[in-house]
Structure 1
Amino acid sequence: MLSTKKATFWLFFVVERVLTAQIPLSPDYHQVDPLQWDLDEPPAVNATGNLVFETANSLLQHWPSTRYRIGHTIVPGIVPVGTILYHGTITGPHMPTALDWVAVEPEHSMIFCNGTVETGYWHATFSVTRPMKVLYFDGNSAAKVSEGTMDTQDLVAWSEMKPEWFENELQRIQDLCKWGLQNGVDGFVSEIMICNFTSHMELISFSNVESLRLGDDNPADLPNDPNTIFEMMHSASWRENYPGETRIILDYSGLISFYDNDLVPSLVPRHVGVERWDHRVAGISPEDIERVKDRLAQVLKQPPVTASGIDWKTVLRFVVDRYASRLDMMQYLMNITLDDTPVLLDRARKVQRQLRTILAPYIILGTPPSRGSVEVNATNSWAAPVFQGCATTHTSTIGTRGILTPSERLLLQAVQETTREICRVTTRIWASGFIAGIDPLYPPDQDLDADHIRTLMGEWKEDIARLMSWLDWNVWVKCRPACGVEEMCYFPTWPFQGWDSASKLWLDLNEGDWKRPQPKCIRRLEPYGF
């Protein structure tokens, strides 16, 4: 048994350790260099962190890939064991033996089946038996148009852009698979190009099914049933937004981005000041092409253990989840006539509450100074610790979790640049609202100056609009007002970019609608149309 003296010592030791463990740990936000966290310093004009962020956050999602057709990202991935794939034969009742295409939905594969109303047609269903290594091209990379949708495939297959070959799909799959064989790649994802049908899949069924054509004996044509064509597009909409296509698992630690200024410096001047609709990979220098292909070869050879283990898909999505709806709400609150003073003040307070909610975890006790001292501090440098805390909390330890791959360092930089700008703008607006007496937790000593609030709200509206335009998150792009029960929200896309008099399908588009597509409500039931 312990002596009383020893027992007292151990009791004191244990209590001391418990109390020490309960001391709140707060980041040292007050030791901040205001020059490093300047609320008035926007991103550099050639910064591409926002573009890397949103393209990486949009991978395998149909909506953003349709909006921005020209892809700028290549990522290795795996089609897992047990995945069901479909193939509509174009040569009659014969199994493909080597190179061909499969789809992840039967609605897609069935429209390519060859047959007539009398004979029916043949449709195969497969199951993946071994993990299938694939290379994914983002954007609308299955669209056979000459406008750049296949730029990144051209680069891999031929080390140059060949837009005139946009319909030469047989040569494309042959040369991609030849390159893939040398680099351990089994297939390519736009649709899924399969390089060997016998190595990673087994046949589940090979069925002679009824034709989808309405009395059309020409097997070269697509089905002329409007419902069949529409339902193919409808099935694609199931993977419209996050999490996107979950039957393909991407390895973000091997991501290659043509917005990586260090990897492809020749594209930097082609992006600065150019709307994203008009960004092209074409124009990349031969030196950068070789650098990209060398990086790709390294990525495909590296074992998975070299990655940090960070779930980048979740890291990216967390940022969007945290800020997207609140930024959207603030933009809505500011969309008012500034002459209505009571409404103006009410909306200003509501905006300030949204900002405080965003920044609350980083407003350390004692951060907001007395207003008397703030009035002479035009730089708002007192709010720099809030800016820093907001911008660094979620990435400050990522670099300490082992060695990051070059792709992971690029993703980390993208998250840092994106959160920094979100936090800079929101902290800046919140600080100006605090000074003006709008913050409900710090009521003003006198009546608010309506003219000053009106000016602030005008500035805030521009700041939020500029931030949301810079972020350009696809989560904000939707049909407004929302579509009805018998409708779906749709982006004009290939191959349905024009009116088809045979199928009586809608799309009466002008050139602007095609080049800069905007969401539209279309009917899900006959008669199909806008």
Structure 2
Amino acid sequence: MSSADKCRPQLVVPMPSTATIPKAVFWIFLVIGQVLTAQVPLPPTSASGDRCDLSGQWNLDEQPATNATGNLVFETANSLLQHWANTRYRNGHTIVPGTVPVGTILYHGAIMGPHVPTALDWVATEPDHSMLFCMGEVKSGCLHVTFVVTRPMKVLYFDGSSAALFSEGSMDTQDLMAWSEMKPEWALNEYQRIEDLCKWGQKYGLNGFVRMQMNFEMMICNFTSHMEVVSSLNLETLHLKLKNGQPTEDLNTMHSTFELMHSASWREAYPGETQVILDYSGLVSFYDTALVPSLVPRRVGLERWDHRVAGISSEDMERVKDRLIQVLEQPPVTASGIDWKTVLRLVVDRYASRLDVMQYLLNTTLDDTHILLDHAEKVQRQLRTVLTPYTVLAAVPSYTSVTSDTQNSWAVPVFRECVTSHMSSISISARGTTLTPSERLLLQALQETTREICRVATRMWASGLTAGVDPFYPANKRPDADHIRTLMDEWKKDLRGLMSWLDWSVWVKCRPACNVEEICYLPTWPIGFFPPPYDFPESQNSARSQTMENTSLPDPNKGEWKRPQPKCIRRLGPYGF
């Protein structure tokens, strides 16, 4: 037996074979076994500080470090290529290499002309988006080109609303790659940006760059090397009527604008934009405190809305570019073979809805004692469900042995099993391989995130069991109302702190839910932005330039545009954003 195994409670309850006894007797035996093991004390902890002493690393009262970023790395990685989360937090902090597979269909709209694009231009992943740029005179119509990818395209993805053309942080990461500095005065200088990004990326075999605004788009460096034209059509224009870059109350204009946002909603949640396959083993994060230590003090005291890559030191910037070059020069295959996208998502799936329903139960105002106890028992059931796979038999104490244990140290094995179960699976999966620096960062983020979830869940569950509100182990005496209310107040504080720290966008939704004639919407650049005047770069003869010239820059310090909040908007006329 290993030293690690010796630290685990070792208890064997003899069970008869199900083949030799009636099923009803088997279940009775199981229940008796549960009751008996509830009275078995844990092995004594060592005062010598050996591995059996769990009071340090597994302290149920130890919160994450103030400057820890595991939660931020986790949620940004879990939200890649998802429209909702990257609309909510526009200032991206992650750059990831990826591939656009063969057979992917892409779209390009332009003013009617004699040629389809061959280099340095934009495509959309949905025709509802590209049609916005299909502009021209009523008589001549517009050009709409459909492409198919014929060879896998090597791309680089910038997270956040990286195609939102304003100077408050959304374009920081790509500006660093293009110019090695932020140039807020060039926020709308898209042609210089694509030219310099493609020039930089050519050295590393990049075919394009993936960004997001109203929907996902790609900056294409060469249209002839990896794509072929499926169709090139002279279409009727949408006849959009804009004022200061915003849709007017014209019904056709509002309908087209809504349908563009509607198409983005298909990619708002997991799995997001599936036409781009990201290589998580090459992920580079500006929340990586070992890689980018200069940004740590700049985030102190700031909400995530205000996090910027601006302010990075020149040394850290060079370190990021060196890491990214290493990533781009290696084969686009994960070193370990671990599917990090799924690993991260499984954690969210396992906990998000249960934490959400517990928050609902705890936020309900209750005066009736019976209903109060009912809600406490329901929360306790949810906590027990969360921890069931980790509730080792020897870790459930008798009530008399824990009433004076305010630290709930008897529950530490449950906490430990909850955390290490996630980590052990990764360790086994990666056996015999070497994790890349990106994978080690993701593993650390996974560990920090699951540790805090398991810590808070175990702490709450242990408190509920001790207080006598666990339906599985009913107390001899019903707890009084004041005791229950105190418990629920403590629970509410713990759960609020956990969910605020995790800050998962899956919890950001319209409450109450929208009706059938509505969809839930987060304010998205550039729809609805009304900023001060701005000097635009000289126009170039393209639909994109013409559209940009009519677009205003947002004031990022006002209301819902700084902190987007979900709201229901109509999906049928009359519209309104």
| TM-score (normalizing by structure 2) | 0.83
Q: Secondary structure at the match of 2:506?
A: helix
Greater CA deviation, 518-527 or 299-308? 299-308
Deviates more, 1:371-380 or 1:233-242: 371-380
Paired position in structure 2 for 1:419: 450
Distance 2:530 2:173 in 1: 29
Of 89, 93, 99, 1:68 maps to 89
Shifted more, 221-230 versus 258-267: the winner is 221-230
Deviations 1:270-290 (A, max 9, x none): 223210000000010000000
Q: Give the match's secondary structure for 1:89.
A: strand
Structure 2 residue 292 is matched with structure 1 residue 264: yes
Offset, 1:214? 6.1
How far apart, in 2, do the equivalents of 1:32 and 1:81 lie?
55
The question of 1:362 aligning with 2:393 is answered no
Letter in 2 for 1:207: L
1:142 has 2:163 as partner = yes
The separation in 2 between residues aligned to 1:211 and 1:145, in whole angstroms, is 27
CA shift at 1:510, angstroms? 9.1
Q: Is the 8 A contact 2:204 2:325 kept in 1?
A: yes
* Alpha carbons of structure 1 residues 221 and 174: separation in structure 2 relative to 1, 3 Å: farther
Q: For 2:241 and 2:408, locate their aligned partners in 1 and report how far apart those are by CA, in whole Å.
A: 73
Q: In structure 1, what is the equivalent of residue 536 of structure 2?
A: none
Equivalent residue, structure 1, for 2:192: 171
Query: Are 2:370 and 1:342 equivalent residues in the alignment?
Result: yes
AA of the residue aligned to 1:259: Y
Q: Which residue of 2 aligns with 1:384?
A: 412
What is the match of residue 408 of structure 1? 439
* Equivalent residue number for residue 481 of structure 1: 512
Q: Which residue of 1 aligns with 2:547?
A: none
Give distance in 2, aligned partners of 1:315 and 1:424. 20
Q: Which runs of 5+ in 2 are unaligned?
A: 1-41, 44-51, 212-216, 532-549
- Counterpart in the other structure of 1:439: 470
* Distance in 2 of aligned mates of 1:489 and 1:287: 43
Q: Please give the residue correspondences for 1:154-193 in structure 2 after superposition, counting only pairs within 5 Å.
A: 154-190=175-211, 191-193=217-219
SS at match of 2:472: coil
Change (3 A) 1:313 1:234: same
CA distance in 1, matches of 2:456, 2:525: 38
CA distance change for structure 1 residues 59 and 509 in 2, over 3 Å: closer, same or farther? closer
Which is worse superposed, 275-284 or 228-237?
228-237
CA distance in 2 between counterparts of 1:308 and 1:420 reads 23
What amino acid is aligned across from residue 158 of structure 1 in structure 2? W
Aligned residue pair count: 495
Change (3 A) 1:472 1:221: closer
Match for residue 565 of structure 2?
518
Moved more, 180-189 or 388-397: 388-397
Q: Does 1:328 align with 2:361?
A: no
Distance of 1:296 and 1:215 partners within structure 2: 43
User: Could you tell me how far apart the structure 1 residues matched to 2:145 and 2:179 are?
Assistant: 31
* TM superposition shift of 1:306: 5.6
Contact 1:264/1:288, CA 8 A, preserved across alignment: yes
Q: 2:346 aligned with 1:318, yes or no?
A: yes
Equivalence map 1:463-474=2 (5 Å)? 463-474=494-505
- How far the C-alpha of 1:397 sits from its partner, in A, is 3.7
The offset of 1:475, in angstroms, is 0.4
Structure 2 equivalent of residue 201 of structure 1: 227
Cα distance in 2 between the residues matched to 1:511 and 1:356: 43
In the alignment, what sits opposite 1:108? 129
> Which amino acid in structure 2 is aligned with residue 60 of structure 1?
L
Name the amino acid aligned to 1:455.
T
SS state of the match for residue 467, structure 1? helix
Which of 382, 393, 402 aligns to 2:421? It is 393
Offset of residue 84 of structure 1:
0.2
**CA-based RMSD:** 2.2
Query: How far apart in 2 are the matches of 1:119 and 1:420?
Result: 62
Opposite residue 77 of structure 2, the aligned amino acid is A
Cα distance in structure 2, aligned partners of 1:276 and 1:339:
37
Check the 8 A contact 1:252/1:408 in 2, yes or no. yes
Please state whether the residue corresponding to 1:101 is helix, strand or coil: strand
Q: Secondary structure at the match of 1:395?
A: helix
**1:275 matched to which residue of 2?**
303
> Do 1:112 and 1:222's aligned partners in 2 also have CA atoms closer than 8 Å?
no
Specify the alignment match of 1:351 in structure 2. 379
Q: Classify the secondary structure of the residue corresponding to 1:142.
A: coil
Distance 1:393 1:152 in 2: 35
Q: Matches of 2:236 and 2:447 in 1, distance apart?
A: 54
> Is contact 2:529–2:561 with CA below 8 Å preserved after alignment?
no
Query: How many Å apart are 1:111 and its aligned residue?
Result: 1.2
Asked if the contact 1:338/1:454 (under 8 Å) is kept, the reply is no
Identity, % of aligned pairs?
A: 71
Moved over 6 A (4+): 220-224, 507-510
Deviations 1:216-261 (A, max 9, x none): 9x9x998972211221111111101100000000000000001000
Contact 2:281–2:333 (8 Å) recurs in 1 = no
Alpha-carbon displacement from aligned partner over 1:390-416 (angstroms, at most 9, x marks no partner): 111022242341210000000000010
> Cα deviation per residue 1:127-163 (whole Å; 9 max; x = unaligned)?
0000000000000001111111100000100111111
Range that drifts further, 432-441 or 30-39: 30-39
Query: Quick one: which amino acid aligns to residue 50 of structure 1?
Result: N
1:88, 1:124 within 8 Å by CA — same for their partners in 2?
Answer: yes
Deviates more, 1:421-430 or 1:231-240: 231-240
Structure 1: 5+ residue stretches without partners? 1-28
Q: Distance in 1 between matches of 2:118 and 2:184?
A: 29
Go from structure 1 to structure 2 and tell me whether the alpha carbon gap of 1:215 and 1:36 turns closer, same or farther (over 3 Å shift). closer
What is the CA distance between 1:293 and its match in structure 2?
A: 0.2
**Inter-partner Cα distance in structure 2 for 1:192 and 1:239:** 15
User: Aligned equivalents of 1:32 and 1:478: distance in 2?
Assistant: 43
Mapped to 1, the partners of 2:529 and 2:312 lie a distance apart of: 31
Residue by residue over 1:435-462, the C-alpha shift from the partner in whole angstroms, topping out at 9 and shown as x without a partner, is 1111111111122132111101001011
Q: CA deviation at 1:509?
A: 11
> Retained in 1: the 8 A contact 2:556–2:562?
no
- CA drift of 1:305 comes to 4.9
